[in-house]
Homo-oligomer: A and B are copies of this chain.
Amino acid sequence: MIPKKVLEEKFRKFVEEDVGQGDITTLLTVPSGTIVEANVLVKESGVIAGIDEALMFLESFGLQANPLVSDGSEVKTKTAVLKITGNARTLLSIERTLLNLLSRMSGIATVTRRLVERLRKAGYETRVACTRKMAPGLAYFDKRAVMIGGGDTHRLHLDDMILVKDNHIAIVGDIKTAMKKVREAVSFSKKVEIEVSTIEEALEAAEAGVDIVMLDNFTPKQAKKTVELLKKKGLRDRVLAESSGGITEKNILEFAAAGVDIISLGEITDSVKALDMSLEIVKVRKRKS
C-alpha cells in the first residue's frame, strides 16, 4: 500500500478534474455548515475492494468514515459498506469520485474472486493474474483490487521484471540473442520472463534459464504438451509456465488442467464491470454551534 500522504494527491486530482470551478448545485441548495450522515450501499452482490483507499480519500477531504465491511468481503445487494459523517457540501462534491473508485475496484475484485474460486473448487492451485491492460492512471487501484480479489498482480510497471515480448524479439532477431543480452546486464534483483509463441520456443527459453515462460495464445492442448516436455527435459522445477491470451471464464479450467502455474487475463482490468453502488443520506444535522 502507498502511504496516505502520497495517495491523497491522486484523490485530489480526481476530484479537481470532476469539480471544475465548484459543485454549483450543492452550493446553491445545501446550506453552509450542514452536517450529514450517509451510507455507501451496494446494489448487487459482489466482493468489496477499495475500502482502505476510500477511508484515506474521505479522511483527506475532512470527512469521518467507518468501514462496515473490510476489503475482500463478499456482500449481498443492499449491504451498507461504509458509513460517512461530515460536511454535506464536501460529501456531495466528492460523492461521484468516491463511488466511481469503489465500484471499479469492487468490480475487479469480484471477477477476480470468481475466477480464483472456480479454479480452487476444481482443485487447482493455479494463480490468476492480471496484466498491464488497465485504465491509464489507475494502475495502483486496479492492481490492488486484483490482489484483494485473490489474484496475482503480475508486473507493476516496466521496471520490476524483465518481460521480453514479441516486439522485442522482432527487433532483436531471436530468443537466443535476446536472452544473451538480458543475462549480461540484468540486475540480480529481477526475474526474467519471455513470451513465446511455439512449444519449441518455450523449451528454448526454459533452457536459456528464464524464470517464467509465457505461453502466448497457446491452446490448452499446446500448453499441456509444453508442460510435459518441460518435465521430460528436467526443466519443470526451474521455470514457471504462464498461459496468456484467449482465456475466458469458460475455458479457464482447461488451462488449469494443462498444468500451467499462472493464468493471466487482460479482461480483469481492461473490461471491468463496475459493481453498482450508491450513497444514501441517512441523517441531516446542522452545524454545531
Residues of chain A touching chain B, judged by Cβ–Cβ distance below 8 Å, are 1-6, 8-30, 34, 36, 38, 60-62, 88-90, 92-97, 99-101, 103-104, 107, 127, 129, 132-140, 143-144, 147, 152-165, 167-168, 170-172, 178, 181-182, 184-191, 193, 212, 240, 242, 261-262, 266-267, 270-274, 279-281, 284
Contacts and interface: CB of A to CB of B under 8 A. Distances in A.
Residue from A96, A188, A262 having most chain B Cβ neighbours under 10 A:
A188
Contact of A28 (B137, B157, B182, B266): B182
Given A100-B135, A140-B22, A187-B154, A1 B27 contact: yes
A183 to B, nearest CB: 9
Nearest to A173: B284
B193 A191 contact: no
A189 B171 contact: no
B270 A136 contact: no
Given A3-B61, A6-B19, A14-B137, 15 more contacts: A3-B62, A4-B61, A19-B159, A20-B158, A20-B159, A21-B143, A24-B159, A25-B162, A28-B186, A29-B168, A95-B167, A137-B137, A137-B138, A270-B274, A272-B272
